[in-house]
Structure 1
Amino acid sequence: MSANTPEKRSNRKLLIGGLLVVLISINGILIYMNYQKKEKTEEQAEVIRVKNNELENQIKVYEALKADFERQSQELQAMGLENDSLETQIAAIGADLDELRGFRKRSYSLADQRRFRDRASAFEQQLKQKDEEIVQLKSDNEVLFTENTELKSTQNQLSDSLVTFKTSNRDLNEKVKLASKLEAQNMNVNIINQRGKEKEDNDNEFRAKRVDKIRVIFNLAKNDVAAKEPKTVYMRLIEPDGAALYNLATGSGSFQIDGENMYFTAKRDFVFDNTQQQLSFTYDKNAEYKKGQHVVELYTDGFMIGKSSFVLK
């Protein structure tokens, strides 16, 4: 067995020392490599976090853009307007939103970021221009509304004036019609006996058995308002029982008074000439007259123009 000489002990120490140095160096290298790996991992995590924040921010930007474009669409619809290009933009933003949300499950590159930022910028410019158009449209609508309100007010005033005019005109026509009413003056009722002799009685009392015909005579009073034109005068001979003598064979019929039918005994046509002209009726009943008071009424243009009575005994 060889002796453990000082030289051998020295070599062993050197070997152990070298191994320690190598181990220490390897450990240092491992520590450094682990540190580098940790830094790289943290950098990657930071990049991912920044990208995710950028993605979420971009999604929020597009959601706000879509909400603003939908607001514009509602404002236009409220004004009764439609805009197909606006609906197209809303659809395009919706498609971009779907694509952005899809990046939550896949890589969101710098190129994608730039592309969507540029598109968002273009949409924001369009949004601004459309808002300016809507403001102008609202202003124009307010002007039109004011003008329309003023026009309606003027139209209502004209309608009121027209109604007033029509009412005044109707009232005037009624006054003219009333003023133009004819009047029978000097109205007398005579009888004609069977021998054709006419008899006048100041008391308007006659013997029934002597009456063959009734003769009514009157003058038309002057009236400068009444039109000089053809007219018709209706005579009603009312017997004691209250009924007007009526016989189609002798020319009887009916006429309107205040919207109601009224039977007349006889009628005659004439031309009013405002000369106080005299008119007359001669009526033959062709039967015996009843005893009692008889009433004679005269009508023209819807008015009673004269009335008289006589008694048959």
Structure 2
Amino acid sequence: MATETPEKDSNRKLLVVGLIIVLLSINGILIYMQQQKTQESEEQKEIIKVKNTELENQIKVYEALKADFERQSNELRSLGLANDSLETRIAAINSDLAQLRSFRNSSFTIADQKRFQQRAQNLEVALRKKDEEMAKLQEANEELFTEVTGLKTTQNKLSDSISRISSTNKELEEKVALASKLEAQHIQVTILNDKGKEKEDDDEEYKAKRVDKIKFTFRLGRNEVAPKENKEIMMRLIEPDGSALYNLATGSGTFEYEGKEIFYTSKRDVVFDNSQQQVTFLYSKGSPYKTGKHTVEFYSGGYLIGTSSFTLK
């Protein structure tokens, strides 16, 4: 076996050294590139952080501007002055705020920053100018306050007197209305069969199947306060299940009582003459009556003026 010459051994060592140098150089380049990439990434993150900070600061500036313009609007309103221009500015600021907040999910460019900064500066100028105008208005208002104080005192006393008179008048009207309330006295229930034979209410029960018509009679009590005029009287015939009999074909309808719309079974117009006149309702259901306790109610002028009951078996 031939032995290697010193020359060949030296060349091999040089080759190995060269390869090691090349590998180290490549590794160094890769490390450098990675460092550059990491640096760029950090720089990009810092740029994004700065932009986000700028964005949030700009949003805070606009929120503060909105609060100031709303303050001005409220102050002007308290002075009884028109504030349409301020409402327009507030609406514009709300629109700008909506745009700024939308940048949280998108790019907020340098151009956007400059645009909104310029708009904010213009709004701040308008805000200061309006504050100066309002300060002058407030000063003038304070000068007038002393002169108006005496008149306001007199006006307040007059207003109090008018309020008391109005309250007294309202109370009187309510008392008169209540005093004018009609009263259905001595309510009588009469049952008529299909042959027209009457059976008066004597606390006995009636057979439902024999009832053809029901007659209700009562007298309107004397009332010196109630005006002599036409009175509308509604009758509600309520069955044992609590529902009022209702049939448009027989003259039923609705009316308002204590803020609610309720059904009435029948209605009559009566000219009240304060003579204790008798009023009669004759009702025919047109179908068999239910067994059990029935209630009849009479209403006029928004009041319940009388009620009675009877039982059918």
Q: TM-score, normalised by structure 2?
A: 0.54
1:146 is displaced (CA, Å) by: 4.2
Q: Deviations over 1:63-84 (max 9, x none)?
A: xxxxxxxxxxxxx988649xxx
1:263 is displaced (CA, Å) by: 0.5
Counterpart of 1:176 in structure 2: which amino acid? V
Q: Whole-Å Cα distance in 2 between the matches of residues 147 and 228 of structure 1?
A: 54
Q: Whole-Å Cα distance in 2 between the matches of residues 168 and 232 of structure 1?
A: 29
Q: Deviations over 1:245-268 (max 9, x none)?
A: 000110101000122101100000
* Matched-pair contact (CA < 8 Å) for 2:188–2:201: no
Which stretch shifts more, 144-153 or 209-218? 144-153
Q: Deviations over 1:168-202 (max 9, x none)?
A: 11111111111111111110111111001221131
Q: Residue 278 of structure 2 corresponds to which residue in structure 1? A: 278
* Matched-pair contact (CA < 8 Å) for 2:233–2:269: yes
Q: Whole-Å Cα distance in 2 between the matches of residues 207 and 190 of structure 1?
A: 13
Counterpart of 2:291 in structure 1: which amino acid? K
Counterpart of 2:241 in structure 1: which amino acid? D
Instruction: Label 1:188 to 1:148 Cα distance change in 2 as closer, same or farther (>3 A).
Output: same
Counterpart of 1:240 in structure 2: which amino acid? P
Please list, as runs of the form range in 1=range in 2, the aligned pairs for 1:53-64 lying within 5 A after superposition.
none
Matched, 1:189 2:189: yes
Q: Whole-Å Cα distance in 2 between the matches of residues 283 and 168 of structure 1?
A: 44
* Matched-pair contact (CA < 8 Å) for 1:294–1:309: yes
Counterpart of 2:163 in structure 1: which amino acid? V
1:297 is displaced (CA, Å) by: 0.3
Q: Residue 251 of structure 2 corresponds to which residue in structure 1? A: 251
Q: Whole-Å Cα distance in 2 between the matches of residues 205 and 295 of structure 1?
A: 13
1:145 is displaced (CA, Å) by: 4.7
Q: Residue 153 of structure 1 corresponds to which residue in structure 2? A: 153
Q: Residue 300 of structure 1 corresponds to which residue in structure 2? A: 300
Instruction: Label 1:201 to 1:231 Cα distance change in 2 as closer, same or farther (>3 A).
Output: closer
Please list, as runs of the form range in 1=range in 2, the aligned pairs for 1:26-45 lying within 5 A after superposition.
none
Counterpart of 2:292 in structure 1: which amino acid? G
Q: Deviations over 1:201-236 (max 9, x none)?
A: 311521111100010000000000111111100000
The number of residue pairs the alignment matches comes to 179
Q: Whole-Å Cα distance in 2 between the matches of residues 239 and 145 of structure 1?
A: 68
Instruction: Label 1:78 to 1:271 Cα distance change in 2 as closer, same or farther (>3 A).
Output: closer
1:293 is displaced (CA, Å) by: 0.3
Secondary structure at 1:165 match in 2: helix
Matched, 1:221 2:218: no
Counterpart of 1:152 in structure 2: which amino acid? K
Q: Residue 264 of structure 1 corresponds to which residue in structure 2? A: 264
Q: Whole-Å Cα distance in 2 between the matches of residues 312 and 219 of structure 1?
A: 24
CA RMSD of aligned residues (A): 2.1
Q: Whole-Å Cα distance in 1 between the matches of residues 219 and 266 of structure 2?
A: 17
Secondary structure at 2:262 match in 1: strand
Counterpart of 2:180 in structure 1: which amino acid? S
Secondary structure at 1:202 match in 2: coil
Q: Residue 180 of structure 1 corresponds to which residue in structure 2? A: 180
Q: Deviations over 1:78-116 (max 9, x none)?
A: 8649xxxxxxxxxxxxxxxxxxxxxxxxxxxxxxxxxxx
Q: Residue 4 of structure 1 corresponds to which residue in structure 2? A: none
Secondary structure at 2:170 match in 1: helix
Secondary structure at 2:174 match in 1: helix
Report runs of 4+ in structure 1 exceeding 4 Å deviation: 76-81, 144-147
* Matched-pair contact (CA < 8 Å) for 1:206–1:312: yes
Counterpart of 1:308 in structure 2: which amino acid? S
Q: Residue 207 of structure 2 corresponds to which residue in structure 1? A: 207
State which structure, 1 or 2, has the greater radius of gyration over its C-alpha atoms. Answer: 1
Q: 5+ unaligned residues in a row in structure 1: which ranges?
A: 1-75, 82-140
Q: 5+ unaligned residues in a row in structure 2: which ranges?
A: 1-135
* Matched-pair contact (CA < 8 Å) for 1:185–1:221: yes
Q: Whole-Å Cα distance in 1 between the matches of residues 202 and 240 of structure 2?
A: 20
Q: Whole-Å Cα distance in 2 between the matches of residues 305 and 220 of structure 1?
A: 9
Counterpart of 1:218 in structure 2: which amino acid? F
Q: Residue 55 of structure 2 corresponds to which residue in structure 1? A: none
Q: Whole-Å Cα distance in 1 between the matches of residues 303 and 274 of structure 2?
A: 17
Q: Deviations over 1:149-174 (max 9, x none)?
A: 11111111111111111111111111
* Matched-pair contact (CA < 8 Å) for 2:183–2:306: yes
1:148 is displaced (CA, Å) by: 1.6
* Matched-pair contact (CA < 8 Å) for 1:189–1:204: no
* Matched-pair contact (CA < 8 Å) for 2:250–2:266: yes
Q: Whole-Å Cα distance in 2 between the matches of residues 310 and 204 of structure 1?
A: 8
Please list, as runs of the form range in 1=range in 2, the aligned pairs for 1:68-83 lying within 5 A after superposition.
80=140
Q: Residue 137 of structure 1 corresponds to which residue in structure 2? A: none
Q: Deviations over 1:7-30 (max 9, x none)?
A: xxxxxxxxxxxxxxxxxxxxxxxx
